[in-house]
Amino acid sequence: MAELTLHEYLEIVESLLEMSARKEAEVAELKAQLDVFKPKNVNLSLLDDKADVGGKVMLVFQSKTLREILKTMLEKNCSYDVKMLDTNENIESAFALYQPDICVIEHGGYNDTVSTVETIRQLRILSHKTGLIAVLPENDVDVIREIVTAGVDDFLVKPIDTRRMNNVIGDIILKRSTRKAG
């Protein structure tokens, strides 16, 4: 093996340090994202009896990372059967095929208000039984008014409070199952 000059050795060390710094930054960013979605001071298995409700949930989000985190949380901690869609996929077809109990739709990304509202209207036409939850980037009264008028049952604001999300999903499923039984 050929011996390295001091200059070559320093270049290699510098490259490794740069790679290490990038990896540390990526890991720190992922940890920060996970912390946003992690409930504070909550044992998810002890939330309440809503965790045992079960049901089918469809997540429609642009971010694959967010979809994966929410899917894992809902499947492991709440026993939901979760299907995921990107916001540019054919939501109406997937909705009709899967027939979820709850559909959680992200507003924003490359969906503008009009297409999100129209999608909500179309889903409401397809099923009055399915609970619809919109996830908004901010608390905008005009957008909230539009989505509620379009037919959502509830909404969440980013960053998503997973405890509230669990409660909203559980409440909607319980209300809808009570209506079916009653």
Express each pLDDT in 147-168 by its tens digit.
999 999 999 999 988 889 989 9
Express each pLDDT in 132-147 by its tens digit.
999 998 888 998 999 9
- Contact of 105 with 60, CB cutoff 8 Å: yes
Cite the DSSP H helix spans in the chain: 6-37, 64-78, 91-98, 113-126, 141-150, 162-181
* pLDDT value at residue 135: 92
Q: Looking at the whole model, is its pTM more than 0.85?
A: no
Express each pLDDT in 73-113 by its tens digit.
898 877 899 999 887 678 888 898 899 999 999 987 544 55
Q: Quote the CA–CA distance of 3 and 1 in Å, as a whole number.
A: 6
Express each pLDDT in 108-127 by its tens digit.
754 455 588 888 999 999 99
